[in-house]
Chains A and B, each alone.
Chain A
């Protein structure tokens, strides 16, 4: 089994001309139709065809005359067999100086849009700035801008709009010329490529947006449907996501606790998530391991609030912690080394998806001995370990067994003790809550993120801080908040126990 072709799409570009006009074939410096379309994965066949197209009414053509010539002179037209575009080189064009994608709207008399474009070889480039090195030249003799215009117009034939993000093909000649400088005059400042977003469109737009005879010009959209998930995403200025590991290094097999803080760095109130917990459904991300392999993580369980977003005042922040162990591809930290973690927060905003991202890195240290290695392997190999971490309960026996193995290992115990304590502290079916067992697991060495400290404090509060177990846990938590940077809110909750 293998690829049918190295190309994504295949087109034919037929070039017809009046006898006095040049065919736009290349830029005079090595860029031609093949190199242009190879860069976007399109297999292009150039059909240099008629060189003697008759001029119907003098040297200047109307859009309708060009469309008529398309219908009359093209070598073939079978959209079920090929995507054929038509380039007609004429001396002058009524409606524009240089070139036009005329096959649109009322001109498209056969209701098959975007099949043909026209280019004018006898437009004379003004003999003044900003026309740089081609001042005063007849357009057809200025290979670079002439060829560029042909590619540009054909880009409209593919459904592309003007694009001023760079001096690539879909920017306009006037804008590019006006951006020329003394050291890089026009046309040397032409960028001989499609802009990155146009490249994406040419590769991934639905066929109907790009093929001749598809949707009308002006109807292609990158958001309906989105051609890639990032098309409906909008990075939000003024909101910063600060991500930091709770511990800079962790032993192999341990979960990674990450603090996330969403800060309004702007001077005005902003619409932002009101929670950053994984269960909000707004948080996901990626982990890149030392070999460069990317793995993803996303919420397992959603607790959908009615209003997961709200107003965040200037300078205000939302903080939370997330615990990472496994993702869609398995364990997120399967070996020792340096890992890069990217956390993304997404929320709906005005029909698009707002997003902020933050990054951090951690070091996973190797197994210190065989017992550690075995315990780590057990946790890393147990898919239910993550479910047990998230859901608790007694039903996920494989996950519980893996976590208990980790708790019994002196290297991994501090990192899993709270997870097991949390499970035991809550009732499950016929098993009653066992706060005593939970309190035995939580001590000064137990690794707990600020969010976990807060949850433990609230659990103690709910179950009664007066009990021996409750007091033990409260004392441990109070010692932790005295020495750890957990934030004022969490410290306040713990101190009130």
Chain B
């Protein structure tokens, strides 16, 4: 069941870069209509989260539609202005709310 999490709505910039999170966008915008848009700093670069839907299904679970249209569940957490994700390869990556 979808949960509302208005805190996630807004623009976020990735904090730090590691090899495991390379496929995720450098900036991401979550809209209040359930859509998101992700971008890499280098225009045209592939990212697993490019555009699609997101749905928060639990206190720590979010479903995100991905680049090939598969919907994948991720663990996530919001703390103040930091958004943390963990994917199914245990890759953890964070975003900070953009100013």
Contact with A along B45-73 (1 / 0, CB 8 A): 01010111100000000000101111110
- Of A172-180, A327-335, A438-446, the segment with at least 4 beta carbons within 8 Å of chain B is A172-180
Q: Which of these, B35, B52, B68, contacts A104 with CB under 8 Å? A: B68
Secondary structure at chain B's binding surface: helix, strand, loop or mixed? loop
Taking a contact as CB atoms under 8 Å apart, the answer to whether A175 and B69 are in contact is no
Taking a contact as CB atoms under 8 Å apart, the answer to whether B69 and A101 are in contact is yes
Taking a contact as CB atoms under 8 Å apart, the answer to whether A153 and B67 are in contact is no
Cβ-closest chain B residue relative to A351 = B42
Taking a contact as CB atoms under 8 Å apart, the answer to whether A100 and B69 are in contact is yes
Taking a contact as CB atoms under 8 Å apart, the answer to whether A178 and B33 are in contact is yes
Taking a contact as CB atoms under 8 Å apart, the answer to whether A161 and B46 are in contact is yes
Give the chain A neighbours of B50 by CB distance below 8 A.
161-162
| CB within 8 Å for A217 and B68 given contacts A162-B50, A172-B51, A172-B52 | yes
Taking a contact as CB atoms under 8 Å apart, the answer to whether A95 and B46 are in contact is no
Give the chain B neighbours of A100 by CB distance below 8 A.
68-70
| CB within 8 Å for A96 and B37 given contacts A162-B50, A221-B44, A223-B44 | no
| CB within 8 Å for A174 and B52 given contacts A161-B46, A164-B37, A222-B44 | yes
Report the minimum CB–CB distance from B35 to chain A (whole Å): 6
Give the chain A neighbours of B33 by CB distance below 8 A.
178
A102 within 8 A of B: yes
A14 within 8 A of B: no
A219 within 8 A of B: yes
Give the chain B neighbours of A174 by CB distance below 8 A.
34-35, 52-53, 65
| CB within 8 Å for A99 and B69 given contacts A162-B52, A175-B51, A222-B44 | yes
Report the minimum CB–CB distance from B42 to chain A (whole Å): 8
Taking a contact as CB atoms under 8 Å apart, the answer to whether A175 and B35 are in contact is yes
A156 within 8 A of B: yes
CA distance A5 to B43 in the complex (A): 35
CA distance A96 to B23 in the complex (A): 20
Give the chain A neighbours of B71 by CB distance below 8 A.
95-97
Cβ-closest chain A residue relative to B38 = A162
Give the chain B neighbours of A175 by CB distance below 8 A.
35, 51-52
Give the chain A neighbours of B70 by CB distance below 8 A.
63, 95-96, 100, 102
Taking a contact as CB atoms under 8 Å apart, the answer to whether B44 and A153 are in contact is no
A98 within 8 A of B: yes
Q: Which of chain A's residues 169-187 have a Cβ closer than 8 Å to chain B?
A: 171-172, 174-175, 178
Taking a contact as CB atoms under 8 Å apart, the answer to whether B67 and A161 are in contact is yes
Give the chain B neighbours of A222 by CB distance below 8 A.
44
Report the minimum CB–CB distance from A178 to chain B (whole Å): 6
| CB within 8 Å for A218 and B51 given contacts A95-B70, A100-B68, A162-B67 | no
Report the minimum CB–CB distance from B31 to chain A (whole Å): 9
CA distance A101 to B71 in the complex (A): 12
Taking a contact as CB atoms under 8 Å apart, the answer to whether B35 and A162 are in contact is no
Report the minimum CB–CB distance from A249 to chain B (whole Å): 42
Cβ-closest chain A residue relative to B41 = A350
Give the chain A neighbours of B37 by CB distance below 8 A.
164
CA distance A161 to B67 in the complex (A): 7
Select the residue from B35, B43, B51 with max chain A CB neighbours within 10 A. B51
Taking a contact as CB atoms under 8 Å apart, the answer to whether B68 and A156 are in contact is yes
Taking a contact as CB atoms under 8 Å apart, the answer to whether B35 and A96 are in contact is no
Give the chain B neighbours of A172 by CB distance below 8 A.
51-53, 65, 69
Q: Which of chain A's residues 80-137 have a Cβ closer than 8 Å to chain B?
A: 95-102, 104
CA distance A222 to B69 in the complex (A): 21
Taking a contact as CB atoms under 8 Å apart, the answer to whether A218 and B46 are in contact is yes
Cβ-closest chain B residue relative to A218 = B46
CA distance A254 to B22 in the complex (A): 57
Given A100-B68, A234-B43, list of 4 further CB < 8 A pairs?
A102-B68, A161-B50, A178-B35, A217-B68
Sample (13) of A-B pairs whose CB atoms are under 8 Å apart: A95-B72, A101-B68, A156-B68, A156-B69, A161-B46, A162-B67, A172-B53, A174-B34, A174-B53, A178-B33, A218-B46, A218-B48, A219-B46
Q: Which residues of A contact B (CB under 8 A)?
A: 63, 95-102, 104, 152-153, 156, 161-162, 164, 171-172, 174-175, 178, 217-223, 234, 351
